Amino acid sequence: MNRRQGFYRVIGRCAAAVTLGMLSQLSASGQGYAVSWGQPKAATVGESHARGMADVIRSQAQANYVNAEALGSVQDAQTKYLNNRALATETYLAKRRMWDDYRQKKQDDSHAKLTAYMQQGKMAPISSSELYPDTGAITWPLILTQEKYAKTRQGIEQAFAKRATTGSLSTEEFMKTSLALNEWRRSLASVGAPFSPTDVREAAQLLNRLDKTLKADFQ
Protein backbone atom coordinates (compact mmCIF):
# COMPACT_ATOMS: atom_id res chain seq x y z
CA MET A 1 0.00 0.00 0.00
CA ASN A 2 1.47 3.38 -1.02
CA ARG A 3 1.20 6.63 0.88
CA ARG A 4 -1.74 7.92 -1.18
CA GLN A 5 -3.82 4.84 -0.40
CA GLY A 6 -2.95 5.06 3.29
CA PHE A 7 -3.95 8.72 3.34
CA TYR A 8 -7.44 8.04 2.03
CA ARG A 9 -7.95 5.14 4.40
CA VAL A 10 -7.12 7.48 7.27
CA ILE A 11 -9.79 9.89 5.97
CA GLY A 12 -12.35 7.06 6.00
CA ARG A 13 -11.48 6.18 9.58
CA CYS A 14 -11.75 9.85 10.56
CA ALA A 15 -15.24 9.94 9.02
CA ALA A 16 -16.24 6.92 11.10
CA ALA A 17 -14.83 8.56 14.24
CA VAL A 18 -16.75 11.76 13.52
CA THR A 19 -19.95 9.77 13.16
CA LEU A 20 -19.43 7.95 16.44
CA GLY A 21 -18.61 11.22 18.17
CA MET A 22 -21.75 12.93 16.93
CA LEU A 23 -23.88 9.95 17.92
CA SER A 24 -22.35 9.98 21.36
CA GLN A 25 -23.18 13.65 21.77
CA LEU A 26 -26.74 13.06 20.67
CA SER A 27 -27.07 10.18 23.05
CA ALA A 28 -25.68 12.29 25.87
CA SER A 29 -28.16 15.02 25.09
CA GLY A 30 -31.01 12.53 25.42
CA GLN A 31 -31.95 12.57 21.77
CA GLY A 32 -31.00 8.89 21.19
CA TYR A 33 -31.98 6.91 18.13
CA ALA A 34 -34.55 4.30 17.37
CA VAL A 35 -33.73 0.77 16.33
CA SER A 36 -35.93 -1.37 14.18
CA TRP A 37 -35.61 -4.94 12.97
CA GLY A 38 -34.18 -3.54 9.76
CA GLN A 39 -31.53 -0.80 9.50
CA PRO A 40 -31.06 1.61 12.45
CA LYS A 41 -32.94 4.82 11.91
CA ALA A 42 -32.22 8.29 13.22
CA ALA A 43 -34.43 9.26 16.13
CA THR A 44 -33.99 13.00 15.65
CA VAL A 45 -33.28 15.53 12.92
CA GLY A 46 -29.84 16.23 14.38
CA GLU A 47 -28.92 12.59 14.31
CA SER A 48 -30.12 12.33 10.72
CA HIS A 49 -27.91 15.26 9.72
CA ALA A 50 -24.96 13.72 11.51
CA ARG A 51 -25.46 10.39 9.75
CA GLY A 52 -25.80 12.12 6.40
CA MET A 53 -22.60 14.13 6.93
CA ALA A 54 -20.71 11.01 7.91
CA ASP A 55 -21.96 9.19 4.80
CA VAL A 56 -20.81 12.09 2.61
CA ILE A 57 -17.36 12.10 4.20
CA ARG A 58 -17.09 8.33 3.94
CA SER A 59 -18.26 8.31 0.30
CA GLN A 60 -15.78 11.05 -0.60
CA ALA A 61 -12.99 9.13 1.09
CA GLN A 62 -13.97 5.98 -0.80
CA ALA A 63 -14.10 7.88 -4.08
CA ASN A 64 -10.71 9.37 -3.41
CA TYR A 65 -9.35 5.93 -2.63
CA VAL A 66 -10.75 4.47 -5.89
CA ASN A 67 -9.40 7.45 -7.87
CA ALA A 68 -6.01 6.98 -6.26
CA GLU A 69 -6.03 3.30 -7.24
CA ALA A 70 -6.94 4.21 -10.82
CA LEU A 71 -4.29 6.92 -10.96
CA GLY A 72 -1.72 4.48 -9.63
CA SER A 73 -2.66 1.97 -12.33
CA VAL A 74 -2.32 4.65 -15.02
CA GLN A 75 1.07 5.69 -13.68
CA ASP A 76 2.21 2.05 -13.52
CA ALA A 77 1.07 1.51 -17.12
CA GLN A 78 2.86 4.68 -18.25
CA THR A 79 6.03 3.62 -16.45
CA LYS A 80 5.93 0.18 -18.08
CA TYR A 81 5.33 1.79 -21.49
CA LEU A 82 8.32 4.10 -21.08
CA ASN A 83 10.48 1.23 -19.87
CA ASN A 84 9.45 -0.88 -22.87
CA ARG A 85 10.22 2.02 -25.21
CA ALA A 86 13.63 2.46 -23.62
CA LEU A 87 14.32 -1.28 -23.89
CA ALA A 88 13.22 -1.33 -27.53
CA THR A 89 15.49 1.62 -28.29
CA GLU A 90 18.45 -0.02 -26.57
CA THR A 91 17.81 -3.26 -28.46
CA TYR A 92 17.64 -1.43 -31.79
CA LEU A 93 20.87 0.47 -31.10
CA ALA A 94 22.61 -2.74 -30.02
CA LYS A 95 21.54 -4.50 -33.22
CA ARG A 96 22.61 -1.48 -35.27
CA ARG A 97 26.04 -1.51 -33.63
CA MET A 98 26.36 -5.25 -34.32
CA TRP A 99 25.45 -4.70 -37.98
CA ASP A 100 27.87 -1.77 -38.29
CA ASP A 101 30.65 -3.84 -36.72
CA TYR A 102 29.88 -6.76 -39.06
CA ARG A 103 29.86 -4.50 -42.13
CA GLN A 104 33.10 -2.83 -41.06
CA LYS A 105 34.73 -6.23 -40.57
CA LYS A 106 33.60 -7.32 -44.03
CA GLN A 107 35.05 -4.15 -45.53
CA ASP A 108 38.31 -4.63 -43.64
CA ASP A 109 38.52 -8.26 -44.78
CA SER A 110 37.81 -7.27 -48.39
CA HIS A 111 40.44 -4.53 -48.22
CA ALA A 112 42.98 -6.94 -46.73
CA LYS A 113 42.27 -9.51 -49.45
CA LEU A 114 42.53 -6.88 -52.16
CA THR A 115 45.81 -5.60 -50.74
CA ALA A 116 47.21 -9.14 -50.55
CA TYR A 117 46.08 -9.82 -54.12
CA MET A 118 47.72 -6.63 -55.38
CA GLN A 119 50.92 -7.43 -53.52
CA GLN A 120 50.85 -10.91 -54.94
CA GLY A 121 50.22 -9.53 -58.40
CA LYS A 122 53.28 -7.30 -58.34
CA MET A 123 55.88 -8.66 -60.71
CA ALA A 124 59.61 -8.25 -60.52
CA PRO A 125 61.22 -6.83 -63.69
CA ILE A 126 62.30 -9.37 -66.24
CA SER A 127 65.87 -10.57 -65.67
CA SER A 128 68.72 -10.49 -68.17
CA SER A 129 68.81 -14.27 -68.10
CA GLU A 130 65.22 -14.34 -69.40
CA LEU A 131 65.55 -11.50 -71.93
CA TYR A 132 68.99 -10.52 -73.29
CA PRO A 133 68.96 -6.72 -73.64
CA ASP A 134 71.54 -6.57 -76.45
CA THR A 135 69.94 -9.10 -78.77
CA GLY A 136 66.34 -9.42 -77.53
CA ALA A 137 66.78 -13.19 -77.31
CA ILE A 138 64.32 -14.87 -74.90
CA THR A 139 65.00 -17.93 -72.75
CA TRP A 140 61.82 -19.96 -72.97
CA PRO A 141 60.79 -22.50 -70.32
CA LEU A 142 60.19 -26.01 -71.60
CA ILE A 143 56.42 -25.69 -71.57
CA LEU A 144 56.59 -22.78 -74.06
CA THR A 145 58.94 -24.58 -76.49
CA GLN A 146 56.26 -26.97 -77.68
CA GLU A 147 55.83 -27.20 -81.43
CA LYS A 148 52.23 -25.96 -81.32
CA TYR A 149 53.49 -22.60 -80.07
CA ALA A 150 56.19 -22.24 -82.75
CA LYS A 151 54.42 -19.56 -84.85
CA THR A 152 53.45 -17.44 -81.84
CA ARG A 153 56.92 -17.82 -80.32
CA GLN A 154 58.61 -16.78 -83.60
CA GLY A 155 56.54 -13.60 -83.92
CA ILE A 156 57.34 -12.52 -80.35
CA GLU A 157 61.06 -13.25 -80.81
CA GLN A 158 61.16 -11.08 -83.95
CA ALA A 159 59.44 -8.21 -82.12
CA PHE A 160 61.90 -8.25 -79.22
CA ALA A 161 64.88 -8.60 -81.57
CA LYS A 162 63.74 -5.45 -83.44
CA ARG A 163 63.18 -3.65 -80.12
CA ALA A 164 66.77 -4.48 -79.09
CA THR A 165 68.05 -3.04 -82.38
CA THR A 166 65.88 0.10 -82.73
CA GLY A 167 65.11 0.76 -79.04
CA SER A 168 61.33 0.39 -79.33
CA LEU A 169 58.46 -0.90 -81.42
CA SER A 170 55.86 1.05 -83.34
CA THR A 171 52.42 1.37 -81.79
CA GLU A 172 50.99 -1.20 -84.18
CA GLU A 173 53.83 -3.66 -83.49
CA PHE A 174 53.46 -3.15 -79.76
CA MET A 175 49.71 -3.82 -79.83
CA LYS A 176 50.14 -6.91 -81.99
CA THR A 177 52.88 -8.37 -79.78
CA SER A 178 51.05 -7.54 -76.52
CA LEU A 179 47.90 -9.22 -77.83
CA ALA A 180 49.87 -12.34 -78.79
CA LEU A 181 51.48 -12.54 -75.34
CA ASN A 182 48.12 -12.26 -73.55
CA GLU A 183 46.39 -14.82 -75.78
CA TRP A 184 49.29 -17.21 -75.32
CA ARG A 185 49.11 -16.75 -71.53
CA ARG A 186 45.36 -17.47 -71.49
CA SER A 187 45.83 -20.61 -73.59
CA LEU A 188 48.05 -22.10 -70.88
CA ALA A 189 44.96 -22.78 -68.78
CA SER A 190 44.30 -25.88 -70.90
CA VAL A 191 47.79 -27.31 -70.54
CA GLY A 192 47.92 -30.57 -68.64
CA ALA A 193 50.33 -33.44 -68.13
CA PRO A 194 53.21 -33.85 -68.28
CA PHE A 195 53.44 -30.24 -67.10
CA SER A 196 52.59 -29.33 -63.51
CA PRO A 197 50.60 -26.32 -62.28
CA THR A 198 53.91 -24.78 -61.19
CA ASP A 199 55.23 -25.06 -64.77
CA VAL A 200 52.10 -23.34 -66.05
CA ARG A 201 52.29 -20.56 -63.45
CA GLU A 202 55.98 -19.82 -64.14
CA ALA A 203 55.36 -19.73 -67.89
CA ALA A 204 52.42 -17.34 -67.45
CA GLN A 205 54.54 -15.10 -65.24
CA LEU A 206 57.26 -14.91 -67.91
CA LEU A 207 54.73 -13.89 -70.54
CA ASN A 208 53.37 -11.25 -68.17
CA ARG A 209 56.86 -9.85 -67.58
CA LEU A 210 57.53 -9.69 -71.31
CA ASP A 211 54.27 -7.79 -71.83
CA LYS A 212 55.09 -5.43 -68.96
CA THR A 213 58.51 -4.76 -70.51
CA LEU A 214 56.89 -3.68 -73.78
CA LYS A 215 54.32 -1.47 -72.00
CA ALA A 216 57.11 0.30 -70.10
CA ASP A 217 58.35 1.69 -73.44
CA PHE A 218 55.04 3.53 -73.93
CA GLN A 219 54.63 4.95 -70.40
Q: Could you tell me the CA-to-CA distances from 3 to 6, 10, 64, 113, 193 in Å, in that order?
A: 5, 11, 13, 67, 94
Q: Could you tell me the CA-to-CA distances from 117 to 69, 110, 122, 189 in Å, in that order?
A: 71, 10, 9, 20
Query: One digit per residue, pLDDT tens: the chain, 219 residues?
Result: 555 555 556 555 655 555 555 555 544 554 444 444 445 555 576 666 666 766 777 777 777 767 777 777 777 788 888 888 888 888 888 888 887 787 677 656 645 554 554 445 566 778 889 999 889 999 999 999 999 999 999 999 999 999 998 888 899 999 999 999 999 999 888 887 788 889 999 999 999 999 998 888 877
Structure confidence at residue 144 (pLDDT): 93
Specify the length of the chain in residues.
219
Q: Do residues 181 and 213 touch, judged by C-beta distance below 8 A?
A: no
Instruction: List CB contacts of 123: < 8 A, sequence separation 6 or more.
Output: 205, 208, 209, 212
pTM of the model: 0.45
Q: Give the residues across from 131 on adjacent strands.
A: 138
Structure confidence at residue 34 (pLDDT): 45
Q: Give the residues across from 138 on adjacent strands.
A: 131
